[in-house]
Structure 1
Amino acid sequence: MPRDRTKETAFPVDGSDISLVRTAHPPNWKNPEPDGPYNLVVIGAGPAGLTAAREAAALGAKVALIERGLIGGASVNTGCIPSKSIIRTARLYADMHDAENFGGDTPKPVRVDFQRAMTRMRQIRQRISRAVSAETLASEGIDLYFGEGRFSGPDTIMAAGKILRFRKAMVATGARASLPAIPGLVEAGYLSNETMFDLVDCPKRLLVIGGGPLGCETAQALCLLGAEVILAQNDPMFLPGEERDAAQILSDALAREGVEVRLNTEVVAVRAEGGRKLADLVRDDETMTISIDEIVTGIGRSPNVDGLDLENAGVAYDADGIRVDDYLRTTNPRVYAAGDVCLKHKFAHTAEASARIVVQNALFLGRSRLSKLVVPWCTYTDPEIAHVGVYPAEARQDGIPVKTYTVLMHDVARAVMDGEEEGFVKIHVREGSDRILGATVVARHAGEMINAVSLAIRSGMGLHALADVIHPFPTQAQGIKMAGDAYRRTRITSFWRRVSERWLAWSRR
């Protein structure tokens, strides 16, 4: 089960971990005396809570921030920061295996040091956490309370035994790893995205349950770091929400790197025997049993609504989280919510954007809408899969005709130079115009490349104008300009070609 990370002994014995806890939940911290009513009380110091508290305080609001665990939330401590740190080390080993393709010699053998990879991750996590330390927040004028936050009325919150009165409040308690209902899983033991970073030694044989973003990232990274990985996905394809050719490229990459891929496969039971775990897998009515050392669940996240006593404040919620309107108001007009506790897209960047909406709407009579956000996302496998906007199928369901412009990465000069030719750029426009509806990029640096398209959609820039943006050459982002050039060539109709030919012929006289 997940550990209590507010104590130094919760982490492996590591100096970086001890420093992290002292920064993000000082053992001797003394909570301030309430000085209310506060303009804003925030429950949860993850990406959404930190963003709201810091921006509101910078604007002169009196702010209280409540956190029961470590400042930074899942993003810093158990999510984005540690996972991407490990993924980067895994990519290093992948490049070492592929050294001959870059004109070098592949080490024989490539020796993976899993413990050094994990040590590096913890050092990075501790370094980044310093930017949001308890002392830093207090110096910014935020009243920081460590402890449980519970609503005691429509305009009051109990925090560590003290009553905090508020004009407005925001719930930003995030989400936790979902536990699949598999008989015997809890008894046998498992890892989630919240606990896998406690590993000191690499499991020899590992089962990853779930082929979504978390499952795919974990399977690939731990395979490259030395584990024998089996990935079980109960759908016929990874990343069921993404475009099929994008998911297929990832499926091929995982199989090529040694991940044992089992699609259309359900894990139906787990048990422990002789110091190992046995898992029963079913595919097409055929059952097989595999022996593994560890199990990682990667099937999604569930909102943290338990223990908040939301009923006392008249705040409605369900299994999908706190119910909010387009302005992020709850059923109590004094209370707002932001981040994973209420949003469909559970990303750190979406949490931060939603928190800014709350600050505007709750404190300054703003009318910012959640539905107006342009939200990109990325699965950080190799290659990465990034997306923004709508998919063609979604547009057609709404009766919008779509034209797609595709550039293969093996036609992008820099991708060829880098030996990173796998993938594509797809930009979808409304047919008959250059209005960008959405885009999918599959490339090693897709998460960086998608930003240009996100900016274009947000600013109303069409694909024709995007093609006019000068890109440094050579870069892999040239693939986006090439898609724009492809659109521009389609605008040269036979009529205009005849006109230009006649003009040019006349000009030669």
Structure 2
Amino acid sequence: MKRVIIAGSLLLGIVAWFLLDLGQYLTLDALKAQQAAIDGLYRDDPLLVVASFFAVYVVLTALSVPGAVILTLAAGALFGVAAGTLIVSFASSIGATLAFLASRHLFRDAVQSRFGARLRRINDGVERDGAFYLFSLRLVPIFPFFAVNLLMGLTPIRTWTFYWASQMGMLLGTIVYVNAGTQLARIEQLRDIASPGVLASFAALGLLPWLGKWIMGAIKRRKVYARWQRPRTFDRNLIVIGAGAAGLVSSYIAAMVKAKVTLVEASKMGGDCLNYGCVPSKALIKSARIAEQMRHAERYGLESAEPRFSFKAVMGRIHDVIAQIAPNDSVERYTGLGVDVIQGHATIADPWTVEIACNDGSTRRLTTRAIVIAAGAEPLVPDLPGLTESGYLTSDTLWEEFARRDEMPRRIVVLGGGPIGSELAQAFARLGAEVTQVERGERLLPREDADVAQLARDAQERSGVTVLTGHEAVRIDNDAERRLVMSSQDGDVSVAFDAIIVAVGRKARLTGYGLEALGIETERTVVTDDYLATVYPNIYAAGDVAGPYQFTHTAAHQAWFASVNALFGQFRRFKADYRVIPWTTFIDPEVARVGINEQEAREQNVPHEVTTFALHDLDRAVADSATRGFVKVLTPPGKDRILGVTIVGEHAGELLAEYVLAMTHGLGLNKIMGTIHTYPTMAEANKYAAGEWKKNHAPERLLKLVGRYHDWRRG
């Protein structure tokens, strides 16, 4: 009803404007012709004239129709500079705010729903610096003020902020035009006031806030660096700390643009992903999946057999896989690319100096223009009584420990129901271990939708995992038989184990790099701005140490922004873009996601509708006996724009790539449906999901008319 009233009022006002030809009274000639009569009215009843003038000005500004300039001149001619400026300043600001509110109530929801993803950066910028941007625009009259009113109404800027920034920003221009109105008889045309020179002066004035912002930034930078002595020359353009995904990509980019770059790594090249995470876990998962297929070969018309294998050989294969990939991340390769690789521990001594304790016992001290901190993350180990004495393992330590064993531990407890814990629990269970997975929350994979979490739990239990959700670890009793004691709604319970794997999350590596001494702020990660810079504009952070995502592909993504900004930020800096971040949990069936899911859409109050295509209707899935899972797509109600996608099924991580591409380039489901997909493939699931969406949005009225047309054609 509010929208109807606002729209109706605006429509009536605009119709009246044109039907009554009110514009004829708001010209320079009309104002001059009526000036004497208006002066007489003002002398007879000044309060009535001021009130009427104020009301007319507010209404015209709120309707966004022409005439404000003429009324501003009239204010000078009638009321003088001081009174005229006061009246126009408040009338124009109130009218502008009414136009702003009308735009907000009528159009903002629709515009944000349709273009929300593309406007996210603008929205974030307005929320942070909206008053600054608006004030700058108001200082420059070459931007139509009515357009500014309407466009700002589509943004999240607060109404009060819009009002005071408008009143302050328009004040100088108001004074100029009101003052011109006191000399109305001398003005022959409007360009006598707003000459190119005057407009150029206003434009220059509009740059003052930006110049002021730059000066304030320079003062802030000078203050940050005040206690340090800057070197006159530098040994390096860039020093990168850490040779994981973020560090490797950062140093690679620097070398490619011919910068002199040093990469420092205290442990293994390739970081966690190559040595402890992505690569070894996927090699393990593959072996476990083959064992599961052998155990259930009857699904494929074959004779089932209990897999026989050497655990030592399985672990040996994992290390062989690491060894095959390692040359891609090796010292030799990066040295060949032009990167100076130093094996040692780096400490940032000052904003331009890095001290390196080399692994060979020597030390080096290098100066550099910029630094990228890419120190990665490490397993989070809870403060659990008895854990230290239990000989616990983590996703970092289990690979070398298990490689030394001839036999797999018979009973394994996995603490944690997230992706890492779920992947390891299922893999070891498929290899024959008695695995208990413990999660204190009510479900596995808590960031996923409830139906996805249930499918994940079903998959774990089918693989032989005993899943205990709603169980919180209390202590470990390290007696003759080690036992994990847990509390639950049903009381304390315990489970015996031969090995316990802690997989409750990972934390950024923040200590030992000199961050505290420099005053670089850290919370759970290194605190950075939108450009990945720390409080020091020449020190950046990327990857797990920077957050907010702990994925290898995100670390590489951030590395581009960090390294380019570090090397070329004096010319232009780029904000890190997190609009389309995919990830996959590699259990069987896989769980892959990009964008928001139903759970997040509800939490964020994002209007959405859900389209689901079940894999049991896909020919290739039936042929592969891989029918468990679905493709779930979120879109705005009635709109062909993808908000998020969750896929559960075999090769879900690969299937997701099509949606990642679509979301990155603003393509909708109609485009996916119109793309030829090879038959029979799992990728057809994406096309069929798009078809389900199309079927749900079929133009029923048009189809009825088409049906009648065909009836008529048949005679």
TM-score by shorter chain over 0.5: yes
Match of 1:410 among 580, 594, 616: 616
Give the corresponding residue for 2:522: 317
Which piece of structure 1 moves more, 444-453 or 41-50? 444-453
Residues 475, 61 of structure 1: alpha-carbon distance in 2 compared, 3 angstrom cutoff: same
Show the 5 A alignment for 1:224-373.
224-274=430-480, 276-284=481-489, 286-318=491-523, 320-365=524-569, 366-373=572-579
Mapped pair 1:83 → 2:289 = no
Matched AA of 1:94? E
Match of 1:51 among 249, 253, 256: 249
Deviation at 1:394, TM superposition (A): 2.7
Deviation at 1:505, TM superposition (A): 4.5
Residues 395, 88 of structure 1: alpha-carbon distance in 2 compared, 3 angstrom cutoff: same
Match of 2:270 among 60, 69, 72: 72
Matched AA of 2:302? G
Show the 5 A alignment for 1:30-41.
36-41=234-239
Mapped pair 1:390 → 2:596 = yes
Give the corresponding residue for 2:331: 134
Show the 5 A alignment for 1:447-466.
447-466=653-672
| Superposed CA offset, 1:423-480 (max 9, x none) | 1100101111010000100002111111111111001001111111111111111111
Matched AA of 1:140? L
Deviation at 1:313, TM superposition (A): 3.5
| Superposed CA offset, 1:196-238 (max 9, x none) | 1120331110111111111111100011112111111101110
| Superposed CA offset, 1:40-64 (max 9, x none) | 1100000000011011101111111
Quick check: 1:313–1:332 contact (8 Å CA) kept in 2?
no
Mapped pair 1:197 → 2:396 = no
Mapped pair 1:124 → 2:321 = yes
Give the corresponding residue for 1:473: 679
Which piece of structure 1 moves more, 109-118 or 52-61? 109-118
Quick check: 2:449–2:599 contact (8 Å CA) kept in 1?
no
| Superposed CA offset, 1:143-164 (max 9, x none) | 1111110011111110122111
SS at match of 1:136: helix
Residues 396, 249 of structure 1: alpha-carbon distance in 2 compared, 3 angstrom cutoff: closer
Distance 2:667 2:422 in 1: 33
Deviation at 1:398, TM superposition (A): 3.8
Quick check: 1:38–1:165 contact (8 Å CA) kept in 2?
yes
SS at match of 1:148: strand
SS at match of 1:461: coil
Higher share in helix: 2
Distance 1:110 1:60 in 2: 53
Residues 255, 176 of structure 1: alpha-carbon distance in 2 compared, 3 angstrom cutoff: same
Matched AA of 1:118? M
Match of 1:179 among 366, 377, 381: 381
Quick check: 2:372–2:563 contact (8 Å CA) kept in 1?
no
Higher share in strand: 1
Quick check: 1:154–1:314 contact (8 Å CA) kept in 2?
no
Match of 2:429 among 223, 241, 250: 223
TM value normalised by structure 2? 0.64
Distance 2:559 2:426 in 1: 32
| Superposed CA offset, 1:233-282 (max 9, x none) | 101110111011111011011112211111111111113223x4222121
| Superposed CA offset, 1:121-176 (max 9, x none) | 10000110011211111111111111110011111110122111111110000000
Which piece of structure 1 moves more, 496-505 or 421-430? 496-505
Matched AA of 2:295? H
Distance 1:429 1:252 in 2: 28
Distance 1:468 1:423 in 2: 24
Quick check: 1:388–1:450 contact (8 Å CA) kept in 2?
yes
Quick check: 2:542–2:555 contact (8 Å CA) kept in 1?
yes
Quick check: 1:172–1:340 contact (8 Å CA) kept in 2?
yes
| Superposed CA offset, 1:287-335 (max 9, x none) | 12322101001100010011001134342112x1100111111111010
Matched AA of 1:100? E
Distance 2:477 2:704 in 1: 75
Distance 1:373 1:135 in 2: 35
Mapped pair 1:97 → 2:298 = no
Deviation at 1:361, TM superposition (A): 1.8
* Matched length: 472
Distance 2:234 2:303 in 1: 66
Matched AA of 1:479? A
Give the corresponding residue for 1:114: 311
Matched AA of 1:133? S
Q: How high is the sequence identity, in percent, across the aligned residues? A: 37
Quick check: 2:585–2:591 contact (8 Å CA) kept in 1?
yes
Matched AA of 2:378? R
Distance 1:230 1:400 in 2: 37
Quick check: 1:187–1:271 contact (8 Å CA) kept in 2?
no
Distance 1:234 1:374 in 2: 30
Matched AA of 2:503? G
SS at match of 1:374: coil
Which piece of structure 1 moves more, 138-147 or 308-317? 308-317
**Structure 1: tracts of 5 or more residues without a match:** 1-34
Quick check: 1:176–1:304 contact (8 Å CA) kept in 2?
yes
Residues 139, 392 of structure 1: alpha-carbon distance in 2 compared, 3 angstrom cutoff: same
SS at match of 1:387: strand
| Bigger relative contact order (CA 8 A; separation at least 6) | 1
Distance 2:444 2:578 in 1: 29
SS at match of 2:302: coil
Deviation at 1:111, TM superposition (A): 1.8
SS at match of 2:394: coil
Distance 1:372 1:223 in 2: 36
SS at match of 2:635: strand
Distance 2:434 2:450 in 1: 26
TM value normalised by structure 1? 0.90
SS at match of 1:83: helix
Distance 1:134 1:313 in 2: 30
**Structure 2: tracts of 5 or more residues without a match:** 1-232, 358-362
Quick check: 2:525–2:545 contact (8 Å CA) kept in 1?
yes
Give the corresponding residue for 1:32: none
SS at match of 2:606: coil
Quick check: 2:641–2:668 contact (8 Å CA) kept in 1?
yes
Distance 1:170 1:138 in 2: 18
Give the corresponding residue for 1:42: 240
